[in-house]
């Protein structure tokens, strides 16, 4: 279980939680503890699906493709991430649909989550925000990444101010959200292979 | 009217501090009030990043439509889009968000961008006319105006923009954090009315809005004349629902399709298959113009999806994703069945 001690939401009788209550039901320590646990569980399960697509086949887009050298394959647009109490992002469960287009030669894919303005050197730093997957297959199949996340330093680099409004027709205010992107680079073992991508899933998750 | 400020990051409430015979301090309630404001005020992903197939829109435009059940708290939506074109000749695209709304000129690059880090990501906003939880449509269009080479969408996503202040009521679900502050009297009515009594509404608001959202666009819809089911994506995609209750292994997701048939004697259907079985939406002969099905006059269709298992290291239930296959076919007539969008969303508890 994650952050709630029971690992699930506790249903209260609807009359008990009627808002506002005409006659308040007795409110005990047990109610209080369960209510707080519910908040923890709802926050865990408020983990969002950030990326979900399948179908279009993409290959490396470089003027010259060199064996064993990473080239650009795909990048998402910017998206928000939930930030945990530690200052780190929620963990991210990734899944890529990959092919090396050959039964013998391999293709290696590097997936990176970073702030939207990350430079190429930053995108090739080691860390918990990146993973590499090597496949040898003619067709496509889904491969899971390790659980990725942005540490507090990388979250701070990704936070931006956004013009939010708190009421319909209200004046813009400054809110803070995260602008992260996913990048996928790929390299082929030899000219027999071609690195191919045809789907990505990225889901937030609070691990136990 | 009382309000509650929305923090930028969540925290983890320590439940063990609340126990029989333990002294109760205001600190016990500061954290829950803050967490409640975070839950209600931080935005959700309406349309997760999606990538439509290759578009052939030279000198024309494509319109993309989606359905979802909004959260009451949302006052502003953001569309973030990245466009490419190759051979590069089209350097600007026009994006309208929503369809019929404001238009924005967006830079277009080669897929790898000028620096090898991908195309430019641009964000634009749309403000709602009223706050509501009634299921609704959201859309955008992309136009290639230079008539040089087609525009491709490398990434598009729609998110709720976070709030900064919430109203303390049963809709906005804010908690007046100042009422729970240090040295404040611990007033049971505050705890009952602002936290306890809002629990079920908060449960319904804290959803994963977009479970799977895809659009081919009205103009470049997929179509079939096959009487046998045809895979719409050529591959399955995994979807997991949130897990709420003890012992829950599946939850219902809602879905609709945007479809039409080429003439009044043709009919079809779209089927989704996962570990729980198959569910179908029919496309009747009367659907000769683009329409959402099941009709928006009634409820969406629903089907069961595996709920996340929060006892496992990666949340997968039984060690696997719940893969979903979307297929379609013609069931009557001699015309074609056309599908523009599929929307799978969480409509609440």
> Could you give the count of Cα atoms lying within 13 Å of A198 in the half-sphere of its Cβ?
18
Does residue A127 register a pLDDT over 60?
yes
Buried b (16+ CB within 10 A) or exposed e, A161-199: ebebbbeeeeeeeebbbbbbbbbbbbbbbeeebbbbbbb
- The mean predicted confidence, pLDDT, of chain B is 92
Distance CA A73, CA A56 (A): 13
| Residues forming beta bridges with residue A107, ordered by sequence position | A135, A188
Picking from B137, B267, B322, the residue whose alpha carbon sits closest to that of residue B213 is: B137
Tens of pLDDT, residue by residue over B95-132, are 999 999 999 999 999 999 989 999 999 999 999 999 99
B265 Cα to chain A: minimum distance (Å): 30
pLDDT of amino acid B59: 85
> What pLDDT does residue A17 have?
59
CB-nearest partner of B233 from A36, A50, A55: A55
In terms of CA atoms, which chain A residue is nearest residue B22?
A29
CA distance B26 to B24: 7
Does residue B26 surpass a pLDDT of 70? no
Backbone angles phi, psi at B241, to 5 degrees: -90, 170
Distance CA B216, CA B221 (A): 5
**C-alpha–C-alpha distance, residues B266 and B332, integer Å:** 5
Give residue A133's pLDDT band: very low, low, confident or very high (50, 70, 90): very high
Pick from B26, B118, B201, B311 the residue to mutate for testing the A interface (most A CBs within 10 Å): B118
- Taking the CA of residue A104 and the nearest CA in chain B, the distance in Å comes to 23
Cβ atoms of residues A57 and B54 within 8 Å: no
Q: How many Cα atoms occupy the beta-carbon half-sphere of B278 within 13 Å?
A: 11
Asked if the Cβ–Cβ distance from A75 to B125 is below 8 Å, we say no
> Measured between CB atoms, does B131 come within 8 Å of chain A?
yes
Radius of gyration of chain B (CA): 23
pLDDT digits (tens, 9 = 90+) for B75-101: 999 999 999 998 766 688 999 999 999
CA atoms within 13 A on the CB side of A124: 10
Whole-prediction pTM value? 0.96
* CB contact at 8 A, B293 and B259: yes
Return phi, psi of residue B178, to 5°.
-70, -25
- Chain A: residue whose CA lies nearest to B24: A29
The rounded distance, in Å, linking the Cα atoms of B345 and B302 is 9
Instruction: Note whether B165 contacts A166, CB cutoff 8 Å.
Output: yes
Which pLDDT tens digit goes with each residue over B202-247? 999 999 999 999 999 999 999 999 999 999 999 999 999 999 999 9
For residue A130, which phi and psi values (nearest 5 degrees)?
-145, 155
Report which of B135, B210, B65 is spatially closest to residue A204, judged by C-alpha positions.
Answer: B210
Q: How far apart are CA A77 and CA A179, in angstroms?
A: 9
Confidence of residue B145 (pLDDT cuts 50, 70, 90): confident
CA neighbor of A34 nearest in space, from B243, B196, B176, B311: B196
Which residues of chain B does A41 touch, with a Cβ-Cβ cutoff of 8 Å?
Answer: 244
User: pLDDT tens across B157-193, in order?
Assistant: 999 999 999 999 989 999 988 887 776 666 667 777 7
CA distances from A86 to A32, A95, A153, B18 (A): 24, 25, 11, 22
| ipTM rounded to 2 decimals | 0.96
Query: Which residues, other chains included, contact A84 with Cβ-Cβ below 8 Å and sequence gap of 6+?
Result: A90, A206, B9, B10, B12
Q: Is A93 left (phi over 0), alpha (psi -120 to 50) or beta?
A: beta
Q: What is the pLDDT of residue A200?
A: 98
Nearest C-alpha of chain B: how many angstroms from A208?
Answer: 6
Model confidence at A1: pLDDT above 60: no
């Amino acid at each position: 279980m994650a952050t709630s001690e029971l690992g699930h939401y506790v249903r209260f009788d609807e009359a008990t939680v009627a808002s506002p209550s005409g006659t308040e039901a007795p409110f005990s320590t047990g109610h209080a503890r369960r209510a707080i646990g519910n908040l923890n569980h709802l926050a865990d399960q408020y983990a969002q699906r950030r990326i979900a697509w399948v179908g279009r086949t993409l290959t490396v887009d470089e003027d010259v493709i060199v064996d064993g050298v990473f080239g650009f394959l795909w990048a998402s647009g910017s998206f928000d991430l939930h930030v945990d109490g530690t200052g780190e992002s929620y963990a991210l469960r990734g899944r890529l649909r990959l092919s090396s287009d050959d039964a013998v030669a391999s293709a290696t894919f590097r997936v990176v989550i970073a702030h939207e303005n990350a430079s190429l050197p930053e995108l090739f730093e080691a860390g918990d925000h990146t993973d590499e997957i090597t496949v040898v297959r003619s067709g496509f199949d889904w491969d899971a990444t390790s659980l990725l996340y942005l540490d507090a330093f990388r979250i701070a680099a990704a936070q931006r101010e956004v013009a939010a409004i708190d009421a319909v027709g209200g004046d813009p205010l400054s809110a803070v959200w995260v602008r992260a992107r996913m990048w996928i680079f790929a390299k082929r073992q030899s000219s027999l292979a071609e690195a191919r991508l045809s789907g990505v899933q990225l889901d937030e998750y609070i691990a136990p | 009217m009382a309000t509650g400020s929305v923090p930028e990051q969540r925290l983890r409430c320590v439940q063990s501090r609340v126990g029989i015979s333990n002294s109760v301090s205001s600190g016990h309630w500061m954290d829950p009030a803050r967490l409640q404001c975070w839950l209600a005020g931080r935005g959700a992903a309406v349309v997760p990043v999606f990538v439509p197939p290759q578009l052939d829109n030279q000198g024309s435009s494509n319109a993309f439509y989606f359905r979802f059940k909004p959260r009451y708290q949302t006052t502003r939506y953001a569309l973030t889009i990245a466009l490419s074109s190759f051979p590069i000749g089209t350097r600007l695209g026009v994006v309208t968000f929503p369809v019929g709304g404001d238009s924005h000129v967006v830079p277009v690059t080669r897929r790898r961008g000028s620096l090898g880090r991908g195309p430019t990501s641009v964000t634009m906003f749309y403000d709602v006319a009223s706050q509501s939880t009634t299921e609704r449509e959201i859309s955008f269009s992309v136009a290639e105006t230079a008539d040089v080479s087609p525009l491709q969408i490398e990434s598009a996503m729609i998110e709720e923009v976070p709030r900064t202040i919430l109203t303390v009521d049963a809709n906005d679900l804010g908690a007046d954090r100042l009422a729970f502050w240090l040295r404040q009297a611990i007033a049971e009515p505050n705890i009952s009315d602002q936290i306890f009594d809002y629990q079920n509404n908060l449960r319904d608001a804290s959803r994963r809005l977009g479970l799977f959202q895809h659009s081919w666009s009205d103009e470049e819809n997929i179509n079939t004349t096959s009487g046998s089911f045809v895979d719409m994506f050529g591959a399955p995609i995994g979807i997991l629902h949130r897990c709420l209750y003890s012992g829950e292994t599946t939850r219902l997701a809602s879905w609709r399709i945007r479809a039409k048939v080429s003439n009044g004697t043709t009919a079809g259907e779209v089927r989704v298959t996962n570990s729980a079985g198959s569910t179908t939406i029919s496309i009747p002969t009367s659907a000769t113009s683009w329409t959402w099905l099941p009709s928006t006059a009634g409820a969406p269709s629903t089907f069961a999806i595996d709920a996340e298992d929060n006892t496992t290291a990666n949340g997968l239930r039984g060690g696997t994703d719940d893969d979903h296959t979307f297929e379609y076919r013609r069931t009557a007539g001699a015309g074609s069945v056309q599908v523009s969008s599929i929307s799978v969303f969480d409509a609440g508890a």
